[in-house]
Structure 1
């Protein structure tokens, strides 16, 4: 039996109420959710809360999942809905996802975690730092595309989670990659020593915080400046730089906070994973679907289910503490059907020759 079939069997068992299966399911996919949310929100003080809420909502809605084979797309869809809901809560007056106003927690900055834990250097580190200059909407897409390049998600899963066609998804990815490339040039321009005097004059009013507005200004300067125009040369394709990178392990703060959340059930009548967001093409049950079915069961059964889910989250946190807080996750092993757990390991940087890794030949775009 393949790893895919093993995962589907695990989802089926967890959906039927098997506590051990729920423990294993949360432990296997919590790292994926953490990397999606962490990179999309980039160090927001609410990253831990969004991750916790995502996992609790997944467990609370699991028996409404129509097809175990679509679990990962369904999980990613809920995670992205929680990210969008966070953006909307932070910007009620704007009604759009332009610039996040919440202050990032310096100890939880996801870019720094990525650089330190994965030991990035050279153009890989430059790419990680460049993500700070993207708009929230692009960072959300980047969080999924990064995992596609790393081999953790597939393009069909991303398209399904975003409720977009593969063609529309490809267009959005290309636009995001163009913004990321400009952001990489911005990082280079600001790091240059000595710095371009004309650029220094243009930056006189900058407060030092990365933003889309200043990314556009610096990139525009780099295109027209005789000295800075060379910064656009030698940029390796980002997909080659990200290919094969491991997941970022959770911080001790997230482990502690998730452990506390394990004792708190999702309140009765709480919002559906779809609240405030668009329809996901059948990936998540419609609003009211779970509530209607819960009303047919007894209150004792509902309490029992919530206790089981809390224990599942708590058990996953304990398992996640293995190897100094590093997360373990399912790998791909198509032949022998065993379940492979892979520890987060440092990634070597690009060779000094500038040649992309062999995995880059996949050419995700």
Structure 2
């Protein structure tokens, strides 16, 4: 792979990963491990959109996405020779991406100065770049609300969500998802269900916060909240929404996740758009 931070060349559309057969992918990995510079460049170009899709879905903010994608590729490719099973390159790379996402989210969560209030996060920090990333998706209001809801997830759940989106779109298998998590398929299923439960609670929170008019009891319950999504306020707001008929009606209007998952999973890299 040629390029450094700020100069990492993005690959083609994500579908390029899927056009090659698994045998061809494995051969490409083997050649890259043997030191073939062209194979290494082709491998980076082929899998960069996969890494971008994983990171983009977890983070959202485009500047952060570019940093974490580059960190992932610059960490993975030099360590390629340590991969003992070339056929497992895809989940191995997803594992590295997931770890980089978690590290980034934990660091950002701990840095209060870099955390924006929810009302500022509603609009993308770079509208032009965001439009490029979303041009083929045409997110509806429900999909945008789900993106905002993901900001209420714990950091590890956000990293897992990005993998699950790709699984629902057929871009990762459950076996590959489990391998990326470093766990069994059965335990991966438990973690996915736990993440989905947390996401549904978060979607209900966003629906209640954005209801017009907003429930006056919810407004009263938000006293002292600084507008930043957090686990503490997720629990406090959920206690209200679960017992409030008005907020419950807002949540009842949510579209099932399965109807949103494919469109949300296939976010292209900016160059692909």
TM class by shorter chain equals 0.7 to 0.9
| Counterpart among 244, 251, 256 of residue 237 in structure 1 | 256
Q: How does 1:149-188 map to 2 (within 5 A)?
A: 149-188=168-207
CA contact 1:73–1:161 (8 Å) conserved in 2: yes
Q: Which has the higher contact order (CA 8 A, sep 6+)?
A: 1
| Counterpart among 156, 159, 164 of residue 140 in structure 1 | 159
| Counterpart among 136, 143, 164 of residue 124 in structure 1 | 143
Distance 1:135 1:81 in 2: 14
Distance 1:186 1:99 in 2: 23
Q: 1:141 to 1:164 in 2, by over 3 A?
A: same
Aligned position for 2:21: 3
Distance 1:151 1:232 in 2: 28
Gaps of 5+ in 1: 92-97, 252-324, 327-343, 345-365
Could you give the per-residue CA deviations for residues 38-84 of structure 1, whole angstroms, max 9, x where no partner exists? 33344285433322121122221112221221010111112122233
Say whether 1:249 aligns with 2:268. Answer: yes
Distance 1:231 1:113 in 2: 31
Could you give the per-residue CA deviations for residues 280-319 of structure 1, whole angstroms, max 9, x where no partner exists? xxxxxxxxxxxxxxxxxxxxxxxxxxxxxxxxxxxxxxxx
TM-superposed deviation, 1:213: 2.2
Aligned residues: 247
Q: 1:171 to 1:212 in 2, by over 3 A?
A: same
Distance 1:132 1:121 in 2: 18
Q: 1:244 to 1:193 in 2, by over 3 A?
A: closer
Q: 1:235 to 1:173 in 2, by over 3 A?
A: same
TM-superposed deviation, 1:115: 5.5
TM-superposed deviation, 1:180: 0.6
After superposition, the CA RMSD in angstroms is 2.9
Aligned position for 1:293: none
Higher Cα radius of gyration: 1
| Counterpart among 212, 226, 230 of residue 193 in structure 1 | 212
Aligned position for 2:92: 74
Aligned position for 1:215: 234
TM-score normalized with structure 1 length: 0.60
CA contact 1:42–1:111 (8 Å) conserved in 2: no
Distance 2:72 2:247 in 1: 43
Distance 1:225 1:187 in 2: 14
Aligned position for 2:49: 31
Distance 1:87 1:180 in 2: 17
Aligned position for 2:61: 43
Gaps of 5+ in 2: 1-18, 117-123
Q: 1:115 to 1:134 in 2, by over 3 A?
A: farther
